[in-house]
Amino acid sequence: MKNERLSLTFRLIEAYGLLALERAAVLEPRLAQEEEVLRFHHADYLAALRRSDSGNLFPSAYSYGLGTPDDPIFPGVFSWSLLVTGASLSAAEAIEGGGFDFAFNMAGGLHHAHPASAAGFCYINDPAVMIHDLVRRGRRVAYLDLDAHHGDGVQEAFYETDQVLTISLHESGLSLFPGTGFVHEIGRGKGEGYSVNLPFSPGTDDETFLWAFQEIVPPLLSSFAPDVLVTQLGIDAHRSDPLSNLSLSLQGFIEAVRKIRQMAGKWIALGGGGYNLNNVPRAWTLVWATMNDQELDPEIPQEFLETARGEGFSADGLWDPPVVKPESTEDHALRFAREQVEALKKTIFPLHGLRG
């Protein structure tokens, strides 16, 4: 989760000329206000996070998930978290009244933070805070999460409301943190049917992932008809990512993003996971290009490579080379995906007036 991922991505976007597009703009984010953050997080947790800003561990830190290997305390952690969240709020403001249809905060998407604790590299849950703000404005919001890890904190935030539809496509909790996101988690009370989870087994490739995506996501988004679509576009489902067991290629990931582009009206994209330094800059540069209907040269600009090579970036081109996977793994993953799709069509689709 080092911020080098973000600086490399920004520079690659810039090297491709995507910041100079006629209708594109780079907006300086603001700090989130504490009253905005408190729409999701508890006051005592926010006080603990503020105390962590000095970089010093304190006795009750662990009870808030702070000071762990996943969520270390470091100087400026509170200010940094407010800035990331403020960037997501700025993205929402850009599409609400700023004259933009799309916005991308690649630093955002920190979907594991809970109301009273940090978790999974996430301190403030910027998607939940931002969506709360959009709902407060009277918007119906759909949240679509492609990160390899289940978007548990965002699901938790809206589990009992029908104003937000959350859809998470992720590796099964049977094999990956946070151990949640099963098909039976469908919401509660007014929110029944508005939490949708599509888990995949280890080894799931592009073909299986995209088939399941197409079976579930377009019908639900069409039925729900959101005013705003928020996507979390973590690239840790990539086959070379060290923190998941899925097998997507960059081509498969971007094909899903293209499908989102076709469905989106007002669209806020957020970053998220991605722990291979070769993948994040390429993936999120392609996301920004897709949002702006741009095709990119597969040869990465030399001006970017001249500095990026010294910072650990070693990819040879914008796209992945083909890889042939063992047939037995593909068959198991496809069978598992079919079972999940069938279960969702039986339980979720009827609640939205859809036929399985």
Within a domain: 307: yes
Sheet architecture: strand order including 228-232: 102-105, 266-270, 228-232, 141-145, 164-171, 195-200
Q: What is the CATH number of the domain that holds 135?
A: 3.40.800.20
Extract the residue ranges of the chain whose pLDDT is less than 50.
none
Is residue 270 classed as helix, strand or coil in its secondary structure? strand
Angle at 69 between CA 68 and CA 73, to 5 degrees: 55
Domain containing 227: what range?
A: 4-30+78-352
Predicted structure pTM score? 0.97
Within a domain: 71: no
Give the pLDDT confidence of 256-313 residue by residue, as tens digits. 999 999 999 999 999 999 999 999 999 999 999 999 999 999 999 999 999 999 999 9
pLDDT value at residue 78: 98
pLDDT value at residue 323: 80
Within a domain: 163: yes
Burial class of 6 by CB neighbour count within 10 A (0 to 12, 13 to 18, 19+): middle
What are the catalytic residues? 112
Within a domain: 101: yes
pLDDT value at residue 327: 65
Within a domain: 46: no
- Segments of 110-192 assigned E as strands: 141-145, 164-171
pLDDT value at residue 98: 86
Per the structure, how many domains does the chain have? Answer: 1
pLDDT value at residue 272: 98
pLDDT value at residue 125: 98
